Structures are given as structure tokens and as C-alpha cells.
Amino acid sequence: MIRVVILASGGGSNAAALMEHFKNHPQIRIVGLWTDKMHCGARSLAQQKGVEDRFLESGFWSDETRMKALIQEQSVDFFLLAGFLKLVPEYLVKQFPNRILNIHPALLPDFGGKGMFGMHIHRAVIAAGKTQSGLTIHLVNERFDEGKILFQKTVEFDSGTTPETLQQIILKEEHRWYPVIAEQYILSF
Ligand code: GRF
């Protein structure tokens, strides 16, 4: 079994899509959902779906020794970020080269980087007068949203679309694509 941990900080709809997709998968198992937020939707969803959830406080993420011990104990092979707001620590990127994936709700390299998360992204896209946006699935490196792009899907929308509606349109596509692209990537690794 290939052992995958989801990292999440928010509502957890992508985490839920991943947990659902990999439930009963013959080769890939979601062995945990780790979060930096004591209370978040992602954590509750993991509990509902019987995936082991762990809240790791801020000092834990920066403590390489403790984190590496947990990773070893859980035999983690890949990390999938799903609405994880923290910058992944450099030691983790080094320990997992090309084995940490993220999804971003815009067409990178546009509308990415520090501060570009959640509704900020969709507001910025609309403020820029765009009628196209989309999603990007990419590898994680030491900088926000700059790792190698694995997959992009464009969506078109009418001018006059609100940021909230755009978020919903893109989230639906995220749930559709993230599990299958992550699966393909992991299996071909
Ligand atoms: C998604 O739009 C994802 O692309 C981004 O953060 C959002 C998380 O939403 N990285 P959810 O918590 O999965 O509902």
C-alpha cells in the first residue's frame, strides 16, 4: 500500500473528495489528515470518514525531529495538500522531493503566491476583468504556488459572475480533478 497523508486547514471539501476517491483503493490509502487548525471542517470530515485526524500545533511543524519521527511512525509516502494554508517547511520539501502535491484554484503562475488564498484569489481574478480562471495541480517546493505544474483545467465564466459563484464553479472542478490526477501521479511515480 502507498500511504498518503492529507494536509488541510479549511472547510475540507477537497479532502473529502480525496478520502472518498481513495476509500477501498487497492494500492493507495489515506492514512491520516493532519491539520494546523484545532477546529476546521477538514478535521470533522476526516472523523466522519474514519480517517485518523491529527492537530499539530505550530511548534510541531517547525520541529524537524518530532515531525520526522511521526512521518516514520506513519510510514508516509506522499502528502496531498488540500487547502493547507501554512508554508510547507523546507526540511519536509527536501525529505519528500516530488512527493508533495497541492491544488490551487486559479491558473498559476497568475493569482498565486503569498496572500493568494481563498476568496482573495477569486476577487482578484474578477477585479482583473477576467472571464477565464481554473485550477492548477502542482508539486510543492519551498515557495508558495511555485512548484512544477502537473495539470491545469480552465473554466470560462460570464462577466458579472461574483467571486462567491466563481469559487463554487472552480471547487466543483477541483473535486472532480484532484483525486484522479493525484492517483495517476502517485501510481506512475
Ligand atoms: C481550494 O480552493 C483549494 O484549491 C485551495 O484551498 C481551497 C480549499 O477548499 N488550496 P476546501 O477546504 O478543500 O473546501
Q: Is 104 noted as a catalytic residue in this protein?
A: yes
Taking the CA of residue 104 as reference, the ligand 1 atom at the shortest distance is 4
Cell numbers for 74: 506513519
CA nearest ligand 1 atom 7, residue: 83
User: Can you give the pLDDT at residue 43?
Assistant: 98
pTM of the entire predicted model: 0.97
19 lines ligand 1 (CB under 6 A): no
Q: pLDDT digits over 132-171, tens only? A: 999 999 999 999 999 999 999 999 999 999 999 999 999 9
CA nearest ligand 1 atom 8, residue: 83
DSSP H or E stretch at residue 178: helix 163-187
Alpha-carbon distance 101 to 178, whole Å? 10
134 lines ligand 1 (CB under 6 A): no
**To the nearest whole percent, how much of the chain has pLDDT over 70?**
100
Counting Cβ atoms within 10 Å, is residue 169 exposed (0-12), middle (13-18) or buried (19+)?
A: middle
Q: How confident is the model at residue 28 (pLDDT cuts 50, 70, 90)?
A: very high
- DSSP-based three-state secondary structure for 82: coil
Out of 104, 120, 122, 175, pick the active-site residue.
104
Q: pLDDT digits over 74-97, tens only? A: 999 999 999 999 999 999 999 999
- The residue whose grid cell reads 477501498 is 24
Counting Cβ atoms within 10 Å, is residue 171 exposed (0-12), middle (13-18) or buried (19+)?
A: middle
HSE-up (13 A, CA, CB side) for residue 61 = 18
Taking the CA of residue 41 as reference, the ligand 1 atom at the shortest distance is 12
In a mutational test of the pocket of ligand 1, which residue from 144, 164, 171 has the highest number of ligand atoms less than 8 Å from its CB? Answer: 171
